[in-house]
Amino acid sequence: MNKATPTPDDIARACAQAMWQEDDASRGLGMELVEVTSGHATLAMTIKPHMVNGQRIAHGGFIFTLADSAFAFACNSHNERVVAAQGDITFIRPGKLGDRLVATAREVSRSGRSGIYDVSVTTENGTVIAEFRGHSRVISGTWLPESGTKP
């Protein structure tokens, strides 16, 4: 009996699981891997007391980290190892203690070894907190072994 050829989304989910096992930073901050498909990823994180600054709002570094993690899972969804070359964020509204922030990344462009990804960070009810754009670069290696592209 032959197994069906995995879809790009199957490969993306298998890559995400392999990457998640090694991602101590995202897991350590309490992020949740909500969904990963080919070129897309959604992660969430609740703002805890140790994540607020002197203004008593979410520290921008934590919001950036959430967006950066969603970016990482989106650009690593094609079974290539990919790192950030550049990232830029615009903060629109403050995140508050107790907010569950959701970062949704989408692939804008992927050509050769370079990619561009946009990430929107919102509250659970859809209020936009920040917009992030990341540029990626493929490095050597894969997440799944050659025969492992069958998750």
Domain presence at residue 44: yes
Q: What per-residue confidence (pLDDT) applies to 148?
A: 46
Q: What letters, b where the CB count within 10 A reaches 16 and e where it falls short, cover 57-87?
A: bbbeebbbbbbbbbbbbbbbbbbbebeeeeb
Residue 85's H or E segment, with its range, is strand 82-91
Asked if residue 2 is part of any domain, the answer here is no
The pLDDT score that the predictor gives to residue 17 is 98
Q: What is the pLDDT of residue 62?
A: 98
| 10-residue mean pLDDT series, the chain (151 residues) | 84 98 98 98 98 98 98 98 98 98 98 98 97 98 74 50
Amino acid 77: pLDDT? 98
pTM as predicted: 0.94
Domain containing residue 74: CATH number: 3.10.129.10
**Pure H helices in 1-151:** 8-22, 24-28, 60-75
pLDDT of residue 132: 98
Position 70 scores a pLDDT of: 98
The whole-number pLDDT of residue 4 equals 85
Provide the number of structural domains found in the chain: 1
1 within a domain of the structure (yes/no) = no
**44 lies in which domain range?**
8-144
pLDDT, residue 2, reads 56
Phi, psi angle pair for 31, to nearest 5°: -70, 155
Per the domain annotation, does 67 fall within a domain? Answer: yes
